[in-house]
């Protein structure tokens, strides 16, 4: 019985994980999380799809490291790519 409840709880948490958005911020050396409604690209989509949906970035930083990581900056968020795929998108201070 407990295993079924735990499985159901984990399934609900996994489904809700895509719906909840938050920003991690640092204030006076304290890490805080606050809700965020900034729309950002999803992991795994291509550079072309990001540009088609969000337009041209304000800044394109050159790729660094191996594997190559590229950053694009928009007004409200930054997108990090490995190759041509999104690995993360982070809301920035406005």
What are the beta bridge partners of residue 9? Answer: none
- The Cβ of residue 10 has, within 10 Å, a number of other Cβ atoms equal to 10
Beta bridge partners of 64: 69
Write down the pLDDT at residue 9.
Answer: 47
What are the domain boundaries of the chain? 2-91
pTM reported for the whole predicted model: 0.65
> 53-72, pLDDT tens digit by residue?
999 999 999 999 999 999 99
**In angstroms, rounded to a whole number, what is the distance separating the alpha carbons of residues 19 and 27?**
25
As beta bridge partners, residue 89 has 79
């Amino acid at each position: 019985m407990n295993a079924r409840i735990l499985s159901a709880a984990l399934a609900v948490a996994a489904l809700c994980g895509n719906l909840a958005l938050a920003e991690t911020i640092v204030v006076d050396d304290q890490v805080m999380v606050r809700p965020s409604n900034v729309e950002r690209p999803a992991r795994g989509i291509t550079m072309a799809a990001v540009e088609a949906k969000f337009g041209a970035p304000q800044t394109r930083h050159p790729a660094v490291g191996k594997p190559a990581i590229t950053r694009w900056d928009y007004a409200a968020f930054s997108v990090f790519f490995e190759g041509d795929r999104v690995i993360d998108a982070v809301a920035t201070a406005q």
